[in-house]
Chains A and B, each alone.
Chain A
Amino acid sequence: MSFRTPLSTARGLGSAKHGVGHWISERVAAVALVPLVLWAVYSCILLAGVDYDGAVEWIGSPVNATLIILTIAISFFHMQGGVRVIIEDYIYGHLTKAAALMLNVFVCGLAGALAIFSILKVALGGA
């Protein structure tokens, strides 16, 4: 039998056990972004050389549309996580910090959603 109190047992369990999952998800996103960003740089050069019709045609390719949506979604996830750490490091006030963290999530969420919806609209022939 155990002589430990329930509180002692609870304390002994350590962290909330979400830290590692969060850490790993940040690394998975970073690894995914390595090839995606190199492809995106190549695509930027390609898109700089074409007009509106060329860009619409480019997005119309399922491979391009999928890769750009993945790049945008994973980038905004990565951006949100990175700026979150900057806010946590430099903003000390409780309310200011909470507001900045929320603003960061909202900006990344809104910009990411707008970008992905726009890509889908053009890719699916709505342009």
Chain B
Amino acid sequence: MTTVPRGPADRPMSPHLTSGGMFALHWRWHVTMLTSILHRVTGAALYAAGLIVAAWAVALASGPEAYGSFMALLGSPLGKLVMFGMSASVFYHLANGVRHLIWDAGHGLDLKSANASAFGVFGFTIAATLAVWAIAFMAGVV
């Protein structure tokens, strides 16, 4: 007879939110996990960006009046907020997409590199977003 416990209960059960009691998390946040989730979130957000670009093209083809209204909407405070979010999403998805392409080529998959490139992606996103809006401000277009 054996008293060694065995079975599924001994194994890590991830991502099982509440087994083992309320709020007993079996996982913790990892930066690589965050980058993965954000890639999907920004990708979904950029779906809306694609539709905005299509609406811009249709407005342009519809004449000066429609184009003026559309650009006024984009230039409104809400429009600018959306544009800011879209620009951050573009840069994040772009940088993390390149990270994925490097992984697809078989490089940088070890934990240390993956963590380092995650912070590289965050740094690029913040720097590029701020740079673009600084350029837009200096050019006087926002």
B is bound to A: yes
Closest-CB distance, A102 to chain B (whole angstroms):
16
Fill in one digit per residue for B30-62: 1 if any A CB lies within 8 Å of its CB, else 0. 000000000010011011001101100110110
A45 part of interface (Cβ distance < 8 Å): yes
B44:A86 contact, CB within 8 angstroms:
yes
Among A2-10, A12-20, A91-99, A113-121, the one that faces the other chain is A113-121
CA distance A40 to B74 in the complex (A): 16
Interface size class of A (residues with CB under 8 A): 35 or more
List CB contacts (< 8 Å) of A28-55 with chain B. 30-31, 33-34, 37-38, 41, 45, 48-49, 51-53, 55
Chain B nearest CB, measured from A75 CB (Å):
6
Q: Is the CB of A111 within 8 A of B51?
A: yes
Main secondary structure of the interface of B (DSSP, over half): helix
In residues 74-116 of chain B, which contact A (Cβ within 8 Å)?
A: 74-75, 87, 90, 94, 97-98, 100-101, 104
Are B90 and A59 interface neighbours, CB within 8 A? Answer: no
Q: Which of B50, B63, B64, B140 has the most CB of A within 10 A?
A: B50
Chain A residues with CB under 8 Å of B104's CB are 27
* Residue positions of A touching B, CB distance < 8 A: 27, 30-31, 33-34, 37-38, 41, 45, 48-49, 51-53, 55-56, 59, 72, 75-76, 79, 82-83, 86, 107-108, 111-112, 114-119, 121-122, 126-127
User: What are 22 A-to-B residue pairs whose CB atoms are below 8 Å?
Assistant: A33-B97, A34-B97, A37-B90, A38-B94, A45-B136, A45-B141, A48-B74, A49-B140, A51-B68, A55-B60, A76-B50, A79-B50, A82-B44, A83-B43, A86-B40, A86-B44, A112-B54, A115-B54, A118-B61, A119-B60, A122-B60, A127-B61
